[in-house]
Amino acid sequence: MDYLPAVEIEYPQGRDINASIIWLHGLGADGNDFAPIVPQLRLPDGLAVRFIFPHAPSIPVTINNGFVMPAWYDIKELDIDRHVDEEQLKQSAAWVHDLIDREIERGIPASRIIIAGFSQGGAVSFEAGLSYGSTLAGIMALSTYFATADSIEINPVQNTLPILICHGTHDPVVPEVLGRKSVATLQNLGFDPEYISYPMEHAVCPEQIRDIGDWIGRTLTAQAEG
């Protein structure tokens, strides 16, 4: 099978891997975008994580005058409702499912796999994580929106899935109202997402990186103890 090309980092090196995080970049970036923060997460000593940072294919993006760039899906209008190409988004989610399946084949249970994403990558993470057929460890959605909220087919095995949503209060690209809307939507669907905001724009900040590392540690530790 052909998988999305990706940057892979095992951290710390030389340890038997006991969890995986598949982390999707935003529009116009690639899998190298978040790789440098891995050592900054300060994960608990008992965790040995394989980080997988896939590269999105390059496609024409309507809101950027059809310019070809790495993207998980086309965005047709940059309004508050985010008119996106749902077929492309769901295809990207299917590619993430393939990566999850590969991690399971490599010996990592689905319950030890977190799906994460920034901006466009976060929208795909919602779709991929909530629709996957085996219970995952969690979803981490950064500076993003729930693009397929009205069409997603949530798999019941994910009904108690831990979800972390982070957003910048000064985000000019994906307004914070969309992050809060994702929280409300998930709550209405029976989930209990954790929400943290930061005084930043469309980015990540040191405080957020610490909080992400803490959430990853808590989520994977709780899963192991459960």
Q: Looking at residue 223, what is its pLDDT?
A: 67
Helices 86-105 and 120-131 cross at an angle (nearest 10°) of 60
pLDDT by residue for the chain (226 residues), tens digit each? 899 999 999 999 999 999 999 999 999 999 999 999 999 999 999 999 999 999 999 999 999 999 999 999 999 987 766 689 999 999 999 999 999 999 999 999 999 999 999 999 999 999 999 999 999 999 999 999 999 999 999 999 999 999 999 999 999 999 999 999 999 999 999 999 999 999 999 999 999 999 999 999 999 987 665 5
Residue 86: burial class (beta carbons within 10 Å; 0-12, 13-18, 19+) = middle
pTM for the predicted model, two decimal places:
0.97
Give the start-to-end residue ranges of the domains of the chain.
Answer: 6-225
Active-site pick, 92, 119, 131, 182: 119
Q: Looking at residue 83, what is its pLDDT?
A: 85
CB atoms inside a 10 Å sphere around CB 14: 6
Catalytic: 98?
Answer: no
Active-site pick, 83, 202, 211, 214: 202
- Torsion angles phi and psi, residue 166, rounded to 5: -120, 145
Q: Looking at residue 135, what is its pLDDT?
A: 98
Catalytic: 170?
Answer: no
Catalytic: 202?
Answer: yes
Q: What is the distance between the alpha carbons of residues 100 and 38, in angstroms, rounded to a whole number?
A: 20
Residue 118 contacts residue 24 (beta carbons within 8 Å): yes
Which listed CATH number (3.40.50.2300, 3.40.50.1820, 1.10.1060.10, 3.20.20.70) goes with 6-225?
3.40.50.1820
Active-site pick, 97, 131, 171, 182: 171
